[in-house]
Every structure is written in structure tokens, then in C-alpha cells.
Amino acid sequence: MTLDQLKTRVKIKVDEYTPAGVSHSFDDYLEPMLNESADELADKAPKWLLNATDIVLTGIKYADDLAFIPLPAEFARLYDMKFPLWDRPVFDVISPEHPDYELQQNTYTKAGYGRPVVMIQSWIPAGGTLGKHLVCGKVADGALPAYARCIVYTTPALMPDVLDEALTWLTASKVLQILEYKDQAKLAYDLHLDELKHKVK
């Protein structure tokens, strides 16, 4: 759906929840609120409703059974990743302190069994700007993932069509909040959540 079509749908939803005879000019809010809503959905919508993007596997560094994979600036969250010696893929960024860490046991030939860890680490290269990379272990030196995919932040028009209703209700909620219609904003937000739950079933 185009940006203009999404804006029109948000306007219709806001009009539905605005008292009769009251009009507001909120065009200036629409695009920033749609962008914010698209980012929020990239962070929380069920992964299978979003488009997975291959992580470009260049500039990988290895140390102490770990691989350090640079991430794109638009990285939102991990979709899935599997190194050849791992029995199972990893779907979430996780650390040894995470309660599900014990469930991630995989065969690792160098040291018997190992639990793969995929964490995000911020870093600033010499003379560069702040970036992020995935820290993955246990990984054999020089090994490349069999696959590594992520969800990226994208424009509202490039979000999957299946999320259009959730996206426009979420944006309508943000606009209604700005217009100080708090009860209506909550109703619109709840409709956005209902849309996401409906898609999961």
C-alpha cells in the first residue's frame, strides 16, 4: 500500500473516533507517526508476518570461539541464524543470563556440547560512527552461518500488506493521543492489538 493510501486510512480511522462536527488539521503528524508505528511493528509484530532480510556476511571477525558480525544500521531484531555445527537455529538475541539459555544446547565438536549465544554489542570503529554487531558463539574460527536473517526498520509503504490494519490503527492511536482524545486513542490502540492477535491465529 502506498504512503498516501495509508495516510487516507489513518484519516478515516481518526475521523471515526473524533466527535461529530469537530475537525482537526493533523496532516503534519501523519508521516512521522506512520514511520514511528512501522518501527514499533518491526520490533514487536510476530516475525512470520514480517519480511526477513539476509544479513550481509562481510567484515566478520573471530576470537575465542566467537564470531563478530557487523549489522546494518536499519537492524531491528534477529529473525533466525544457524552456524553449520549448531544442531538448532537461534531465533532471538539471547545471553547466558537469559532464562531460556539452557534450552539452546547444541553439539559443538571442538568442546563437546556448547550453547550458542547470539548477543548484540555496540561498538565504535576507529574514526567511525556507532555501530552494532552480533556476537555469536560457539563458532569455529572462519565458519560462516548456514543462514543469518534479520528484521529491518523500513518505511510504512514497504511493510507487509498483512499489517496495514494494525499499522493504521496504531498510527490513529498516536494521532488521537496528540489531539488529546485519550479514551479514543486507547480504543484505537486496542484495535491495533486485536489486529495483531487475529493475525497470529
Q: What are the sequence ranges of the domains in the chain?
A: 3-49+155-200, 53-152
Query: What is the per-residue pLDDT across 26-47, written as a single tens digit (0 to 9) for each?
Result: 788 899 999 999 999 999 999 9
Q: Which of 168, 190, 199 is nearest to 14 (CA)?
A: 168
For residue 94, give every residue at least 6 positions away whose Cβ sits within 8 Å of its Cβ, in sequence order, or none.
100, 101, 104, 117, 118, 119
3-state secondary structure (DSSP) of residue 138: coil
As a whole number, the mean pLDDT across the chain is 86
Predicted pLDDT at 198: 81
Residue 146 main-chain phi, psi, to 5 deg:
-65, -35
Instruction: Tell me the range of 64-68, 93-97, 150-154 where mean pLDDT is highest.
Output: 150-154
Predicted pLDDT at 52: 95
Rounded to two decimals, the pTM is: 0.84
Res. 106 pLDDT band, cuts 50 70 90: low
3-state secondary structure (DSSP) of residue 76: strand
Residue-wise over 71-95: b if at least 16 C-beta within 10 A, else e? Answer: beeebbbbbbbbbebbeebbeebbe
pLDDT exceeds cutoff 70 at 186:
yes
Residue 184 one-letter amino acid: Q
Predicted pLDDT at 128: 67
